[in-house]
A and B are shown apart, each in its own frame.
Chain A
Amino acid sequence: MAEIDEAQAQRDALAIDRSKGDFKYKEDYAFDAGIGLSPTVIDYIAKVKGEDEWIREFRHKALKIFESLPMPTHWATSDLNNINFQEIRYYLAKSQKPSRTWEEVPDDVKQTFERLGIPEAERKFLAGVEAQFDSEASYSRMKEELEKLGVIFCGPNEGLSQHPEIFRKWFGKVIPAGDNKFAALNSAVFSGGSFIYIPKGVKVAQPLQAYFRINAENFGQFERTLIIADEGSEVTYMEGCTAPKFETATLHSAVVELVALKGAKIQYITVQNWSANVFNLVTKRGIAEENAEVRWIDCNIGSRLTMKYPGVVLRGAGARGEVLSIALANDGQHQDTGAKMIHAAHNTTSNIIAKSISVGNGRSTYRGLVQIPKVFQNCRNNTECDALLINEHSRTDTYPAISVRGQKNSVQHEASVSKVSAEQIFYMMQRGLSEGEAMSLAVNGFVNDLVKEFPMEYSVELKRLIELQMEGSVG
């Protein structure tokens, strides 16, 4: 009995109460654009950032597009209608970012970090205790090395004003403002994010991580990222973190554009773990030129509703695109994720592997698009979607769209839905595991081959995170 109580107590302690993340701070922002969306807000953002006239125009045009486009509820969930755009704060200048001390962080959050085995320094950063981490030696060392290689790693503001010859050419080209309603919103009010340029032939050995640049408001609500890998270069970029991100803002809408020039390789890794009140509506797309490779590794665990379909436009012969995706939808969550592969050259190949887990009354959705026009030959796509349903009211949907023209192309798509077999659980329980542990192990097994693709430290954290999310889901 005592044992059970203890287990329950432990579970209760670890059940992440997302409301604890609603940190409240005094609102004494000096550069506050106010609540709501209007041309005045746009002008304000442009002015505070000291942007060039063309960026201001770009923003205004985007706002008009945003206003003219309808909510995509004819195919997407009607939960989108619950977003009130006039109640959102679109910009807070960085000097007005809330600062908090480690003492202010709730105990259960600290415990979660503990369980995830996140290093001390990172914990503080993740909890929003920013100042300490900033002076980390690792950051400056890394920055020095990158500069030696000629790598540019900065924010959008700096990128567009100091290196226009590099970034302006591609900015808003992979994902135009009119791509969809939320890309338009981002284009109108973007701030924060990473602009990266990797020179010809440079292979960056260490993954670049957004949180090394915490000074520069990298986890913005409307962040804008543009990565250009010049011919023959290679880079891995990591965004997000496995620990829960506590946010008061309810709408996040990022735009991420990747450009892999001839023979370049870009790998973009995301672990999304927003708190469960967040609408996470993200547009991500990469262009792969001749023999280039763009690879999205995408893991969605948090948020109330995520809509994210990383895409690759395979524009040069021999280009390769890949999306590996893991989604975990718990109670009250809807992970609407997927992938897009647009084949726009001969001999292009693409691969999509998506795995989703629905727990409690969580809902996970896969939406895919594969397009091969008739003028191209020897294009191949492989898509696999597997869904695992844990509880009676868990839900999963799969909506792929595959359009193939021409004779010499081939696509294959496979999807399956299943639950963890009772035999597997029984087998493990027989060997002394609790039902919860057995379930957690089975789920980790289900995603194991994808988790392996993540960098080492991420994959360890990811496994623990999945264990954590699975707790209390059975029995």
Chain B
Amino acid sequence: MNTPTTTLGILDAPAQTRETQLFHSADWFAHLRQQGWQRFQTLPMPTREQEKWRFSDTRTLSLEGYAPAPAPSEADVAKLLQRSQLISHPAGLMVHIDGHCVLEPQLSPELAKQGVIFESLEKAVKHHPALLKQHLLQHPVNLGGDKFQALHQAWLRSGYFLYIPTGVHVAQPFVSVQWTLAENSAVFPHALVIADDRAQGQVLDFHFGAQLDSRALAISCCDVHTGQEAKLERLSVQGWGQQTQSFQVDNTCGGRGAKIVAINAALGARRARLENTVRLEGPEANVNLYGITVATDGQEYDQRTLQIHAAPHTKSDLLFKNALLGKSRTIFSGLIKVEPDAQRTDAYQTNRNLILSPEAEADSLPGLEIEANDVKCSHGATTGQVSPEELFYLQARGIPLKVAQELLTQGFLEEVLSKVSHPEACDLLRTLMQEKFHRS
């Protein structure tokens, strides 16, 4: 394990090549990684002057000093597996530590018989090359994170592939937990989810740092494809360590009549950028996007969303709620794009920021680009503080100021929390939010 080359970081070509050779024999996969590496070399680092990075603190962006970590010790594996038991009775549980898969899910024989696939990317590359070739990293990057996505592609290794075949309904959630453990570890979690026609399922993605203040680099991608009339719900919880830099590029495609709910919860990392693109490709596709954030001292959350309506009679609704404490900062930049033929579109976008500290900053860039006329589109953005009347009301009933503030903040966030349909996941998220609130 301790070969001298492990000191090479993610920016070193030999390390990238060596890892490609070590982990994967499939030529097409090595080629995909190589393409990513070359693209990464040619792309410049983003700057604040670029419209897609407006308001971002690009000066402190740095990819130096991170390296893929070696496999974890057995003791660590045991400890973190224990901590990964977040949901009882999942359809399958997968665990990665520093990009190494330490638990492959065991699907029930029934699901396996129906053709459901839920396995680590490493295995899927070997077992399902046709499906992966077709879908792996095939989405265009729309929101400015090209360079990071290219690096993700160059180091693509860990993650999962979930496939729910036509007409299969899976009631229990598929759970994936990704941990960073080693200091300065670089991880590149990937998720590829395909829900075929009329399939139904739920995915819970958890990203955690083993320690609260883990320093790491995480560049994750999640691609979701849905067939006709498919129903899919995905909750992604970003809870990396407080010294981590996180970049997340999510892409979701909605087929005809598909119903998708995607919830992004942000708790961890020093800086976290989320780029979430939703493309409604089939008529009657319906997507709900939610974001929930508690930002505390020193954190910057940079949220960029794009709702593309490419077919008529589609509906999308977005709600991002941010609570800001300490010297924190959130940027919400959302765009609704209605293409010329997407008549009868309903598209909504709401960003609400609750500033709880005189040091916090909330930036909001809600945008619309409408090229069809028979549409109903609106967006709203508000930034404000807890209403003094409401605080007074609670205080008048003997509730201390701090508790009253917390209660009102919880009430503010509850609107999004209530969209998490899995009760255990919802409770877990609520607890994580409260813990973070109390730590600050």
Interface residues of A (CB under 8 A from B): 74-75, 358, 374, 387, 389-419
Contacts and interface: CB of A to CB of B under 8 A. Distances in A.
Nearest to A365: B369
B363 to A, nearest CB: 5
A46 to B, nearest CB: 34
Interface of B: 49-51, 54-55, 340, 343, 353, 355-385
18 contacts: A358-B373, A389-B375, A392-B343, A392-B374, A396-B368, A397-B369, A400-B366, A403-B361, A404-B355, A405-B355, A405-B360, A406-B355, A406-B358, A409-B384, A410-B384, A412-B382, A414-B379, A419-B375
Contacts of A417: 368, 370, 375-378
A402 B375 CA distance: 25
Nearest to A410: B384
A377 to B, nearest CB: 9
Contacts of A416: 377-378
Contact of B381 (A396, A402, A405, A419): A402
A436 to B, nearest CB: 16
Nearest to B343: A392
Interface of B is mostly: strand
Interface of A is mostly: strand
Contacts of A400: 364-367, 381
Nearest to B331: A403
A74 B51 CA distance: 7
A403 B359 CA distance: 13
A51 B382 CA distance: 49
Nearest to A380: B384
Nearest to B383: A404
Contacts of A399: 365, 367
B337 to A, nearest CB: 9
Contact of B370 (A387, A401, A412): A387
B51 A410 contact: no
A339 to B, nearest CB: 15
8 tightest CB-CB pairs across the interface, nearest first? A410-B384, A389-B373, A416-B378, A398-B368, A417-B377, A402-B364, A405-B361, A404-B383
A403 B373 contact: no
A402 B373 CA distance: 27
Given A406-B360, A410-B384, A415-B368, 16 more contacts: A392-B373, A400-B366, A402-B364, A403-B55, A404-B361, A404-B362, A404-B363, A406-B359, A409-B355, A409-B385, A410-B383, A411-B381, A413-B381, A417-B378, A418-B376, A419-B374
A341 to B, nearest CB: 14
Contact of B373 (A74, A394, A413): A394
Contacts of A405: 355, 359-362
Contact of A401 (B49, B355, B363, B374): B363
A462 B64 CA distance: 60
Contacts of B371: 393, 395
A390 B373 contact: yes
Contact of B357 (A74, A391, A407, A414): A407
Nearest to B380: A414
